[in-house]
Amino acid sequence: MWIGDKKRLSLAGMHFFLYLCGLIVLNMKKLSLILILVVGLCTVSCRRHVVPKPYGYFRIAVPDTSYTYCHPKGYPYGFLLSDNAVLEEHPYDGEQYWVDIQYPMLNATIYCSYKPIRNNLRSLAHDTQEFLFSHSRVASAIPVQEFANPAHNMWGLYFELHGNTATPIQFILTDSVRHFFRAAVYANCVPNQDSLAPIYDYLREDVRVMMESMEWYETN
């Protein structure tokens, strides 16, 4: 039996092993005798128990949060923005008023798009649905929560995508007449809901603050 084998020696095997050790040490010094006996006894009497360890994740420390109202010049909307985030304008394919909200400390981004409503609300809602359910093959559930802020003429839907999806949080806001705003949260890494839970919890709160503080503005 190899020493690395984890099975216990039989009683006969133990006697044979000790007898063999005795023959070897007859002509050795006392110190060597003690050493071999200790090693031999440890080898035959110890049994290793292999216990699988659960998966572990690096601890992610999220920063404290404070908010400042943000209204990019000339944009048709404004909202409270976390002081840990950086807003970057992101014109795309001729579209105006699109922004990326970057979180350098969390390696995450909220991608925001804006569309003016021109008798196309149904089409915009359909595009949102298609984009949302493109993740349905990965998401284990997609609960939805309605949102309303009549004081700001604001109505919307808030979605959480459970499971290892690329985007765990999405939402839309509209006044149903002129403005349509959509946003999606992304972590800039391989999605893992368990390891990224602290980041998602942090961004969930930021998204809710953002929705509750959103206001519409007229553009030139």
- Strands of 64-107, DSSP E: 67-70, 77-82, 86-89, 99-103
User: pLDDT tens for residues 165-220?
Assistant: 888 899 999 999 999 999 999 987 655 565 667 888 899 999 999 999 999 998 86
pLDDT of residue 14: 40
AA letter at 111: Y
pLDDT of residue 63: 63
pTM of the model: 0.69
**Cβ atoms 216, 77 nearer than 8 A:** yes
**Which CATH architecture best describes the domain 67-216?**
3-Layer(aba) Sandwich (3.40)
Residues in the chain, pLDDT under 50 = 1-35, 37-38, 41, 44, 46, 49, 53-59
